[in-house]
Amino acid sequence: MTPLDPVERHLFLEGIFMRYGYDFRQYAEASLDRRLASLLAQNNMTSLVELLKHVLESTDAFREILPSLTINTTEFFRDPTFFRALRETVFPILKTYPRIVVWAAGCSTGEEVLSLTIALKEENLLNRATIHATDINPRVLKKAKEGIYDISLISSFNKNYVSAGGVNSPSEYYTAEYGLARFNPKLLENIVFSEHNLVTDAPFIEAHLILCRNVLIYFNRELQERAFNLFARSLVFRGFLGIGSKESIRFSNSSGLFDTVDLNQNIYSLKAQPIINKSTLSTRKYT
Amino acid sequence: MRKNISAIFIGASAGGISAVQRLLMQIVNNRQVPIVVVQHLPQYAKLNPSLIYGQDSQNVVFTEANDKMHLECGHVYFAPPGYHLLVEKDYSFSLSQDDPVNFARPSIDVLFESAAIAYRERACGILLTGTNNDGALGLQTIHLLKGLTIVQDPASAEFPSMPQSAIDLFKPNYVASIPKIPAILEGFDKGEAL
């Protein structure tokens, strides 16, 4: 991999933001650079300015490359011990509310939010829950709404479901046919799917629980700070935040807003609303 | 050819645990620069680096690399299983769960390429035993950006094909068995602290 030209890189990210409103300028550089380099290779190009010219010509060309810029890695009950901790530590508190609002931020193709829904159902919390599942990529949201997955994902679903503390038989939740597994549509009834960009958009709900796992690793420090502020402003007092197993709030300036509920599983609870800082919290639009 | 080395990056796959143990045992106490290791492991392997690779002491700390952590002297960092480990231009780590590269996550290529771009001629890459070809392209990138490249002599490696695929791709600065590597590193100055 040859290093990207810094001027071309800058122009490319600015151009995308100006034209399409997707802001990748504060993503962690090294992994974004790899994705940019492989995009160039896929398009048989060597220059990001050439690629920029191409995607500025049509929205379709941009939609074509968008999935390569965002990260869609996900899994059913990823890190099963995290879900076990949710059931043991967080759900008993959620049971004390008559209605609960949950936000799965960066839900990708839906495996994580479906796993969460199943756990909520088994704890008799689903019928009082509204679950907002958001992502910046409309393509993955479309897939998530369908609740249909390749049958090859089912063996890890079955295995992780059990380690995550599932109490039923995993096959109760889906029907398998023609190489596909269709999850029970009832599971999806309480989920509202919508586009939301953690980089540019504002709070839109007051949630009791926010899950945002393995999204923050793609952000640089400043952008992580913005995201933590956004979460703090989107939670009820003492609402819960779950982040990825290798992510941490401890080294961030926002650590004072949260108390640690489970250090190993990275579950936190809101102890104070952030002081509103316009520079980090305003929605960002190119003007 | 004399270089200032500011960080050492080590990649290993099959047969790697004992190879990395042997190499670290010889180099950790003499070197003040940060050392970063990618060892291929199953995704959900839980490991405590200081129990596997060596004991923490006054001079050295063995630890898993965390997102946004800065590379510091006297530390040996290990990629967490299931994540790619990358180095940023401000000499901090970042993690990613992008698709596996060469069927591996963490991938040695991903670490080496980002390290080459961050450290340029002050990076040192060492590729050890393994059965696939991860690491060869990344080590070549370190080489192209004028860093120091060392490949374990395939004849001395438990599994020769990984070091061999680097040698097939380009001419590394040194091909050597593990006991000879410390002497090679001794010939290079420690880069200024970053």
Any chain B CB within 8 A of the CB of A221? yes
| pLDDT tens by residue, B172-187 | 999 999 999 999 998 7
* Structural domain containing residue B135: 4-188
The encoded tokens of residue A76 equal: 């059913």
Distance of CA A32 to the CA centre of its chain: 17
Q: Would you say residue B10 lies in a domain?
A: yes
Q: B136-144 and B108-119 helices cross at what angle (nearest 10)?
A: 10
Chain-chain contact of B86 with A31 (C-beta, under 8 angstroms) = yes
Residues of A in contact with B117 (CB under 8 A): 1, 3, 30, 33
Chain-chain contact of A30 with B87 (C-beta, under 8 angstroms) = yes
Q: Would you say residue B193 lies in a domain?
A: no
| pLDDT tens by residue, A18-60 | 999 999 999 999 999 999 999 999 999 999 999 999 999 999 9
For residue B194, name the pLDDT band (cuts at 50, 70, 90): very low
For residue A277, name the pLDDT band (cuts at 50, 70, 90): low
State the alpha helices, DSSP H only, in chain A. 6-20, 29-42, 48-57, 59-69, 80-85, 91-94, 111-122, 138-146, 154-163, 221-233, 278-281
- Quote the number of domains for chain B: 1
Domain(s) labelled CATH 3.40.50.150 in chain A stretch across: 80-278
Residue type, A255: S
| pLDDT tens by residue, B24-55 | 988 887 668 999 999 998 777 777 787 777 77
The pLDDT value recorded for residue B192 is: 46
Distance of CA A158 to the CA centre of its chain: 22
**Residue A247, CA atoms < 13 Å, CB-side half-sphere:** 26
Q: Would you say residue B71 lies in a domain?
A: yes
Chain-chain contact of A28 with B87 (C-beta, under 8 angstroms) = no
Q: Would you say residue B194 lies in a domain?
A: no
Domain A80-278: give its CATH code.
3.40.50.150
CATH of residue B42's domain is: 3.40.50.180
Q: Would you say residue B176 lies in a domain?
A: yes
- Chain B positions contacting chain A at CB under 8 Å are 66-69, 80, 83-84, 86-89, 94-99, 110, 113-114, 117-118, 137, 141, 144-145
Q: Is ipTM strictly over 0.90?
A: no
